């Protein structure tokens, strides 16, 4: 689980059904039922700086005003592993290796001693943006313009891949000239008409990433603005970029990121262009499904994870039923208490506190004070156990 940039958080088939054995009864528990975690901060250049960053506040750090605070990683990823507070700095991953029952048998069998999740259209463009058409080239632009809706999927993908690759591998001087021409034209036209959201995005990106091919590549992408409470899921090999705001992100644990623009990090254009899906669809917006009072669930079509949003009103008790896999809880706002089923006393919880919860553990949530407490829970997708 990680917490990068107001949610800014493509349709995909549902996970196939599988025949599984019924979940065995929970094993006897000897380990602590709640583990308070210290989580890793990632200082990527696109992060907000100093006290303005929600990440810095959640991490309970005394932020350096000049340093960016981009993401708070909660999980076992080796690039940003969580450690146990009060446990001598022991890695959560090492603790799980000694206590595999905390994962539950199904998760341990599938993913070993690890957490599977980390709680971290184009024709109009070619007609109206000559700067892009010039980089794509007459031949590839013509193929896209002549593509019919009934053309085979492989042919459409091939045309898209060829055109996108031409753009992304264009000569740097040509890219710089195209970006300059496009932004100059849009600045002039903004005085006589209202620019589209995507045109305004181009001008904003150019201010941050001058002469970057990613400024032009943004025209090939969907531009999605999420309201509070909304989410989207992104499948493997589908490109994306966070642009602004702060959100909760949950992802399958991996280290397979390929970058090609809008970043000071290493870019690998050839690999990116060869691996993308080139789907033509607007991403599905998830608004969550109520699973019980005060709890909404966001369920992507992946086995590795799901995310619950829990809003606990003052004076009420919210009980999270036991699940056959591990969970991580993040307190976003407010103050309260988390109580595990085998503990006589609860754990005080405030903004930025993170807890690991083993499999088969009931958790009771309550507030302290006059305001609601908001938490997020990341866990293995419930469909995996059905």
Q: Which of helix, strand or coil describes residue 286?
A: strand
Report the distance separating Cα 340 and Cα 355, nearest Å: 11
The DSSP code for 228 is T
Q: Is 101 exposed, middle or buried (0-12, 13-18, 19+ CB in 10 A)?
A: middle
* Triad 81, 285, 280: Cα angle to 5°: 100
304 DSSP 8-state letter: S
- Separation CA 328–CA 376 (nearest Å): 8
Task: Please name every residue paired with 373 in a beta bridge, in sequence order, or none if there are none.
Answer: 312
Contact call for residues 221 and 243 (beta carbons, < 8 A): no
12: DSSP letter: -
Helix (H, G, I), strand (E, B) or coil at 173: helix
Task: Give the SS3 label for residue 357.
Answer: strand
Q: Measured between alpha carbons, how far is 57 from 59 in angstroms, rounded to an integer?
A: 5
User: Catalytic: which of 57, 67, 259, 383?
Assistant: 259
Q: What residue numbers does the annotated binding site for Zn(2+) cover?
A: 240
Beta-carbon count within 10 A of 306 CB: 24
C-alpha distance from residue 166 to each of 122, 156, 231, 237, 269 (Å): 14, 16, 32, 19, 11
Is 259 tagged catalytic?
A: yes
In sequence order, which ranges of 223-373 are alpha helices (DSSP H)? 269-275
d(CA 83, CA 341): 23
The residue whose two tokens read 């909760």 is 248
Q: Which residues are marked as active site? A: 259
């Amino acid at each position: 689980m990680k917490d990068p940039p107001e949610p800014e958080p493509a349709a995909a088939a549902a996970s196939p059904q599988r025949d599984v054995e019924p979940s065995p009864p929970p094993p006897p528990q000897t380990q602590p039922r709640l583990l308070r975690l210290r989580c890793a901060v990632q200082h990527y250049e696109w992060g907000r700086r100093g006290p303005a960053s929600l990440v810095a506040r959640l991490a309970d750090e005394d932020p350096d005003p000049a340093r960016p605070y981009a993401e708070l990683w909660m999980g076992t990823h080796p690039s940003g592993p969580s450690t146990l507070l009060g446990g001598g700095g022991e890695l959560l991953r090492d603790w799980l290796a000694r206590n595999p029952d905390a994962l539950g048998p199904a998760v341990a069998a599938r993913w070993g001693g690890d957490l599977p999740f980390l709680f971290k259209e184009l024709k109009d463009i070619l007609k109206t943006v000559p700067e892009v058409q010039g980089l794509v080239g007459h031949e590839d632009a013509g193929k896209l313009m002549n593509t019919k809706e009934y053309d085979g999927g492989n042919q459409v993908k091939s045309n898209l891949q060829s055109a996108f690759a031409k753009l992304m591998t264009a000569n740097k001087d040509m890219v710089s000239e195209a970006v300059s021409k496009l932004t100059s034209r849009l600045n002039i036209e903004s005085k006589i008409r209202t620019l589209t959201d995507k045109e305004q995005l181009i001008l904003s990106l150019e201010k941050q990433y001058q002469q970057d091919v990613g400024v032009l590549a943004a025209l090939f992408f969907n531009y999605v603005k999420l309201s509070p409470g909304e989410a989207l899921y992104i499948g493997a090999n589908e490109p994306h970029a966070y642009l602004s705001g702060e959100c909760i992100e949950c992802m399958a644990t991996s280290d397979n990121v390929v970058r090609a623009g809008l970043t000071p990090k290493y870019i690998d254009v050839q690999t990116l262009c060869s691996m993308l899906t080139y789907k033509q669809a607007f991403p599905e917006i998830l608004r969550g499904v109520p699973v019980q009072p005060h709890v909404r669930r966001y369920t992507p079509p992946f086995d590795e994870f799901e995310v619950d949003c829990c809003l606990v009103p003052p004076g009420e008790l919210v009980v999270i039923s036991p699940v056959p896999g591990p969970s991580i809880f993040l307190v976003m706002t407010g103050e309260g208490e988390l109580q595990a089923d085998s503990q006589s006393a609860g754990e005080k919880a405030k903004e930025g506190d993170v807890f690991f919860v083993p499999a088969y553990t009931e958790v009771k949530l309550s507030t302290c004070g006059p305001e609601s407490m908001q938490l997020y829970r990341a866990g293995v997708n419930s469909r995996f156990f059905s």
